[in-house]
Structure 1
Amino acid sequence: MWLFNSRFLIVALILVTAPVFSSELGFKGYVVSYSDDEKSERWANYLYNHLSNRAEDKTIVLLQKVSKEKSIKRGYKSLFIQVSSGLQFDYCIQNSAEQLDIRAQNDRSALWIIYQVIGNISIEDNRINAADFPPPMINLSNSCKNFDFEYREPHFAPNLQTDFAPILGTNNVETDWGIWGHNVSRIVNKYEDENLYALVEGKRVESQLCFSSPQFFEHIRYFIIDNYGRGDETSNYFMISPQDNNLVCTCSECSKLGNTSSNATPAVSKLVLRLSEHFPDHRFYMTAYRTTASPPTFKLPKNSGVFISTIKLPKGIKLNKKQSKTSQFLNQLNEWRSITDNIYLWDYAANYDDYLTPIPVLFGLQQHLQFFKNNGVKGVFINGSGYDYSSFDGMKTYVIAALMMDTQANVEELCRRYFVSEFPVSGNLLANYYLSLEQNYAEKNKAYNLYGGMRDNLKTYLDATKFITFYEAVETLLPIIRGEEWNKLLKLYTTLTFTRLQIAYTTTTGKWGYGIVNGNKLIVKPEISEYVNLLGRYVAYSDMANYDEIGNTLEEYTAEWNALIAKHSFQNALLGEKIELLSKPDEGFESVSLLNDGTPGFPQDYLQGWYLFSGDKLQLQFSTTNLQNTNTLRLRFLNNPRQGLLSPEKIEILADGKPLKMIASNKIKIVGNTASCDIDIDFSKMKNVVIKMTPKEAKKSIIACDEVQILKL
């Protein structure tokens, strides 16, 4: 019934919005006209060429310079374009039955508005085909508007396509920035000069830079001149930021400028000042991050500014001054506003532990963008899934681009416009499901996690039953779809299969789980191999290798599933028994079901089946009443020092309150990124067992424990 209704709605929408012919429009074609200046003529030619290229009948698009002696050809609608830096707005539109006047302030706005014009014309006139780029974000009603932010970047894979970002009117780190992030070090690393590096506690360290070094300035200066010129033809951005650590140079010159062991702002801001003055047509930005969190004591030049991270702000909900983190953020904005008007934000719109599962971010993001605009922010970099594919990333790129131009834009309307344009048959199904996620989550008014696995998703916004109904509906539509829509829908379906497997893995048993309990065994359902094979299609897509920010791969993920399927079952006498936690749990790990749910952890990802504990000692207790015929305790841990995941320093076993065994760390066998041990115990000789696991001493030491497995060997 649901599929029938979806198809009916699609047909109805097509009938309602079907393009009309020239006789219904009231004119034969279009005359592109322009004012008497070189820039307007160039953009008029651009509009003429792209409009005529999309017309099967080339005679319906003409080009003509405006003059008193020559009027627009009768029966044609005039498309007049003017580009002038004197315009007080980013763009202006004046539309009537006979003439459409388009005025833009600069080349960037001109390019964007031209594609808006072509897109709108193609909707009304089926003689113009604009299916090769996204639907228009605006209609052509009379208006003059400024964009809400001057810097606008939705950092998703579609926006990183060189030719795509200009059509959306967005920025792109690949084309707009000469130096981005912490990459200033790459410029100087090729030079063998220790004075380029920070002096920390009397020693030069190559993991941080000396920003007061005269040679450092010269190397950056030559890099900019050689690669980007002086900015008089094309203006670029350059980020001047220390390496991503807490080290600060305290050489005599840096100290003279004001550096301390924890504050690098004085030397970094002085370098930004020098570069800004030397290259007045380029733009230089520092970051309010780590050792440069504090603003400088002087005002920055007009062609420089600061990037501030919003990572501490609650995501997905409306911001207000009563929230402590929002209040702190506003204080930070005010501190930096005292020295620069150019405040850009590094904002977030993804779950960085799971790029592939659909996540509703747009309703909450719109509220944040409105808040940022009202507080004087001039630019926003929205960190999405970057170069990796994520579900619905094309739609999110399109909608976020529109919101950064106009924070009052209608999100639902934009979503539906995109889906119906890009997915003519399945668009309504996709729009209805995605918008239901947005609407349901907005009603909860609860912040979402930037880092969270499927357990978090199911607790917050993802309804397993509704998702699987949607997943199966997509599967049903695939056989009746053809062409480019089929290719795009198949890619999305492949992505959604990851979510289907994650739901199976996390729920373990029951209708949507991957296994069936048979005594003390968990047996893998046969259909799971079909899902793994479907997900195996990821190899056809170069941007679908990873499923999260740190680079966990689908190759490893599917390999773990195949290994689980090959074993067919997992045996544990503790399956279904009660394990009692005697220690204070970490947040989100109040339940210890992960320790005996019959699901082995996947070694490549600590969110896949591992129980995490960061306290002083992990203590577990269970009864041996149903374990009388067993003799082995098997424990397995993650071992990833880079993430602070370490096997225990020691494991103590108590039987009926008395010490029974102690296993030292050197008896825990490490293979790759896991550690394990088998402990011989005759469970028939005791009624109660307590396991105590002591973490290793380290700056960060977390125990990631797999199943507490009881066997008879």
Structure 2
Amino acid sequence: MYIYSSMYIFKKQTFKVLLYLLPLLFQCTACSQSADAYGVYWVVSGTDSPNDVRWGNYLRNHLNRRSENKNIAVSDNPLTDDCLQVMVHVDSLHDYDYSLFRDGDTIRLIARNDAKMLWLIYQFISALGDERVNVSDLPPAIINLNGCEGDFAFEYRGIYSSANSNPELMPITASHNIDYDWGLWGHNLRRVFYDDIPEDAWAQVDGKRIPGQFCFSSNNLYKAIESYVVDNFGEGENEKGAARFVIMPEDDETICSCDLCMKAGNTSKSATPAVSNLLRRLAARFPNHQFFTSAYLSTYTPPTGSLPSNVGVIISAMEVPMQANLSMKSAKIKNFSRMVEQWKKVTNKVYVWDYMRNFDDYLTPYPCLSMIGERLRYFRSLGVSGIIYNGSGTDYASFDDIQTAAVAAMLINPDLHVKSYTASCIHRYYPVSGDILERAYRDWETKACDRKKILPFYGGIEDAVNIWLNPEDFEAFCDTLDKKSKDITDEERVRLNKLLTALQFTRLELQRMPHGNYNPSIVETCLESLKGHTAFDCMHNYREANGSLSRYIDEWKTLKSENEDSHSLLKGVGLKSKYKMDAGYTDLSILTDGLYALPSDYHTGWLIASAEMVNIEVPPGKIRNGLQMGLSFLYAPSWRIYLPESIEVWQSGKCLYKVPLKAGAAKEPFTKHRIQFGLKDIDASQALELHVLQGKGRRPTIACEEIELY
């Protein structure tokens, strides 16, 4: 083999000559054919450099490990007609991040650095996959074995999902995960202090220190961060040792107004000046590490001056709707584009924090891939340099294996034909049941895109039904998939067991739909199956916060009893209101449908109202003196849902009596409260009005479940 001059021009010209000479010098005599049709692969290094030799050995060894024929890849010319030569070369000055050149029976793999070469090698292996080379654990390739070249669309390609939590697989898919490659993430600045936090590290407001928010001009804060970086990550002298750190205020709008911060330029609305000064100081101290802040609350606006090359910003795309056919003329898109452009003026590292889940329901399928492809093309057009997709974290999500593989591929190439690639992923991971899964998932994606509705980042089962999920079709899909799974073994059976267990959650949610066909038998079957979640380490939670599946199952046991023991005289009786109800909550029939709600979910079964006084009219016919009336309310302060202050009973324009409510000390983040009172002094021939009064001095929001009469 040849050794090149250190001069780039000579090296590049010489290598181009070699790309064409080597096939002539070492060419096998077989005719050109598809790459997976060869009996043996002759793997050679592109140069004699130790790095090329290492990568040649790597590719050869891993091809042999994945084949029952341990000599499917060789280092010497096998002198056979059934041979494909594969040359491997790393060139930091290559025109593209990766290239694959095909010339007859020779393929040349070229990448700019080791990380991209590792990805390219596994792309090549994945593309070769057949009955001889096992690639069942690898996502389908996006390269073309007849020739391709390109650059990765984004320098940072983060996916925060359980399917992307294997540190050995992440380099293979060229993806990142914030739990593995960030030295400091989110609102975790407190962890840089090993002991008590010094008083001057806290923000000062009106002359007083406020524990909970930081003073970013504090020298003690700088020293704590410096020690934390050195102790845990060193100086980051090389690419492997470098790390990323997020330096941002705590999750509130408090801004330090001490003399140093005001001198830096802080205002009552912006902490950006002091935060930026700290970032500049850290960037100079650690030139090999990268430091980021976020465009959020008090650091929403960019600084006035340029930031160092190793300082960047993370911008949330929460306001960009998860919707097909994004309108570039919409106010939200314009605002987001404007923010990115403003930050690009001060830094060349603009990362976007985007979303790929319904964070109130990880287990109901969420058909977002076509929309994510569109979003990525939009972010690329803005010049964004990094993307972080917030998925289900360490928790399982239905179809997460498929969606994570597809998102990883689109982060490299947003122009990927997502429907075809998704189908390839499904059949790769589910070779026996793939047809069933592909039909269902394709249908969900098609409906979600065609209906042009917004997929919620926080939503309930009714959102899914309104946008993409047909309850009858879903039941049939689950039954068909379950029957098919009985005949499947190995890794596919493991994947299907997880998926089928998770889908029981969706079936239960469909049973909670107002006016749905509640079926106690289906509920019992699903609850029994969902108990199997304990067999999977990653399936303890079904949502982002307070989402224990064990608790959900316990709540369902109570709910099942409530539904089956409902004997209210008002069941099925229509109610009215004289006043305007909240948008989306005008159907008062859910208050008398005999179907109860879970306290842990305000989306389904609860009537939400924000007026200071909610009027509910009960028609005559059922009411009479001596009966008991009961109302159920949700108390969840973290969701800003409170109990009403009182309920007044009115008839014929006169208040008969008033019933006060008290929340008491809540031990749980959400609880259900029932109030019951007897009817007296009632004229049975006249309608009865209930005036539900909210308390003063807070945002008025109540959630009512059922109105009962016994």
Say yes or no: TM over 0.5: yes
Of residues 419, 422, 432, the one that matches 2:426 is: 419
Of residues 487, 492, 498, the one that matches 2:494 is: 487
Contact residue 160 and residue 388 of structure 2 kept, 8 A = yes
Give the aligned partner of residue 63 of structure 1: 75
Quote how far apart the aligned CAs of 1:601 are. Answer: 1.8
Q: CA offsets, 1:197-235, max 9 Å, x none?
A: 111222112211111111211111121111112122222
Describe the shift of the 1:27–1:706 C-alpha distance in structure 2 as closer, same or farther (beyond 3 A): closer
Quote how far apart the aligned CAs of 1:629 are. Answer: 7.8
Contact residue 462 and residue 604 of structure 2 kept, 8 A = no
Contact residue 656 and residue 686 of structure 1 kept, 8 A = no
Quote how far apart the aligned CAs of 1:579 are. Answer: 0.8
Contact residue 35 and residue 128 of structure 2 kept, 8 A = no
Quote how far apart the aligned CAs of 1:599 are. Answer: 1.3
Of residues 524, 528, 531, the one that matches 2:523 is: 528
Of residues 672, 675, 679, the one that matches 1:674 is: 672
User: How do 1:152-551 and structure 2 match up within 5 A?
Assistant: 152-188=157-193, 190-233=195-238, 234-510=241-517, 513-514=518-519, 525-551=520-546
**1:51 matches 2:51:** no
Q: Secondary structure at the match of 2:95?
A: coil
Give the aligned partner of residue 700 of structure 1: 699
Describe the shift of the 1:324–1:374 C-alpha distance in structure 2 as closer, same or farther (beyond 3 A): same
Contact residue 355 and residue 390 of structure 2 kept, 8 A = yes
Q: Secondary structure at the match of 2:405?
A: helix
- For residue 439 of structure 2, what is the amino acid of its counterpart? N
State how far apart, in whole Å, the 2-side matches of 1:566 and 1:448 are. 33
Farther off after superposition, 196-205 or 684-693: 684-693
Q: Secondary structure at the match of 1:580?
A: coil
State how far apart, in whole Å, the 2-side matches of 1:556 and 1:504 are. 18
Contact residue 257 and residue 266 of structure 1 kept, 8 A = yes
Describe the shift of the 1:404–1:247 C-alpha distance in structure 2 as closer, same or farther (beyond 3 A): same
State how far apart, in whole Å, the 2-side matches of 1:637 and 1:301 are. 54
Quote how far apart the aligned CAs of 1:42 are. Answer: 2.3
Contact residue 669 and residue 675 of structure 1 kept, 8 A = no
State how far apart, in whole Å, the 1-side matches of 2:35 and 2:228 are. 59
Quote how far apart the aligned CAs of 1:308 are. Answer: 0.7
- For residue 702 of structure 1, what is the amino acid of its counterpart? T
State how far apart, in whole Å, the 1-side matches of 2:197 and 2:399 are. 46
Farther off after superposition, 551-560 or 683-692: 683-692
- For residue 689 of structure 1, what is the amino acid of its counterpart? L
- For residue 140 of structure 2, what is the amino acid of its counterpart? P
Give the aligned CA root-mean-square deviation in angstroms: 2.1
State how far apart, in whole Å, the 2-side matches of 1:98 and 1:547 are. 51
Describe the shift of the 1:220–1:116 C-alpha distance in structure 2 as closer, same or farther (beyond 3 A): same
Farther off after superposition, 415-424 or 661-670: 661-670
- For residue 134 of structure 1, what is the amino acid of its counterpart? P
Quote how far apart the aligned CAs of 1:483 are. Answer: 2.1
Count of aligned pairs:
671
Quote how far apart the aligned CAs of 1:676 are. Answer: 2.3
Give the aligned partner of residue 114 of structure 2: 107
TM-score w.r.t. length of structure 1: 0.90
State how far apart, in whole Å, the 2-side matches of 1:168 and 1:266 are. 38
Give the aligned partner of residue 149 of structure 2: 144
Unaligned runs of 5+ in 1: 1-20, 65-70, 515-524
Q: Secondary structure at the match of 1:480?
A: coil
State how far apart, in whole Å, the 1-side matches of 2:177 and 2:613 are. 48
Q: Secondary structure at the match of 2:115?
A: helix
Farther off after superposition, 45-54 or 204-213: 45-54
Farther off after superposition, 577-586 or 412-421: 577-586
Give the aligned partner of residue 12 of structure 2: none
Q: Secondary structure at the match of 1:409?
A: coil
Quote how far apart the aligned CAs of 1:242 are. Answer: 0.6
Contact residue 149 and residue 404 of structure 1 kept, 8 A = yes
Q: CA offsets, 1:161-181, max 9 Å, x none?
A: 212211111111122111111
Quote how far apart the aligned CAs of 1:383 are. Answer: 1.2
Give the aligned partner of residue 628 of structure 2: 632
Farther off after superposition, 415-424 or 479-488: 479-488
Quote how far apart the aligned CAs of 1:622 are. Answer: 1.4
Quote how far apart the aligned CAs of 1:566 are. Answer: 4.2
Quote how far apart the aligned CAs of 1:82 are. Answer: 0.9
Farther off after superposition, 622-631 or 351-360: 622-631
Contact residue 669 and residue 676 of structure 1 kept, 8 A = no
State how far apart, in whole Å, the 1-side matches of 2:306 and 2:232 are. 28
**1:559 matches 2:557:** no
State how far apart, in whole Å, the 1-side matches of 2:267 and 2:261 are. 8
State how far apart, in whole Å, the 1-side matches of 2:45 and 2:538 are. 42
State how far apart, in whole Å, the 1-side matches of 2:420 and 2:677 are. 61
Quote how far apart the aligned CAs of 1:594 are. Answer: 2.2
Quote how far apart the aligned CAs of 1:584 are. Answer: 2.5
State how far apart, in whole Å, the 1-side matches of 2:55 and 2:478 are. 45
Q: Secondary structure at the match of 1:571?
A: coil
State how far apart, in whole Å, the 2-side matches of 1:666 and 1:600 are. 22
Q: CA offsets, 1:53-108, max 9 Å, x none?
A: 112222222236xxxxxx77554322211112112311011123321110111121
State how far apart, in whole Å, the 2-side matches of 1:669 and 1:166 are. 50
State how far apart, in whole Å, the 1-side matches of 2:380 and 2:294 are. 19
Quote how far apart the aligned CAs of 1:240 are. Answer: 0.9
Give the aligned partner of residue 709 of structure 1: 708
**1:96 matches 2:108:** no
Farther off after superposition, 247-256 or 41-50: 41-50
**1:39 matches 2:51:** yes
Q: CA offsets, 1:106-153, max 9 Å, x none?
A: 121111111111111223xx3222223323233323122001111112
State how far apart, in whole Å, the 1-side matches of 2:556 and 2:402 are. 30
Q: Secondary structure at the match of 1:590?
A: coil
Unaligned runs of 5+ in 2: 1-32
State how far apart, in whole Å, the 1-side matches of 2:600 and 2:364 are. 18
Quote how far apart the aligned CAs of 1:399 are. Answer: 0.4
Of residues 588, 592, 600, the one that matches 2:596 is: 600
TM-score w.r.t. length of structure 2: 0.91
Quote how far apart the aligned CAs of 1:563 are. Answer: 2.3
Give the aligned partner of residue 661 of structure 1: 657
Quote how far apart the aligned CAs of 1:546 are. Answer: 1.3
Contact residue 354 and residue 452 of structure 1 kept, 8 A = yes
Farther off after superposition, 672-681 or 284-293: 672-681
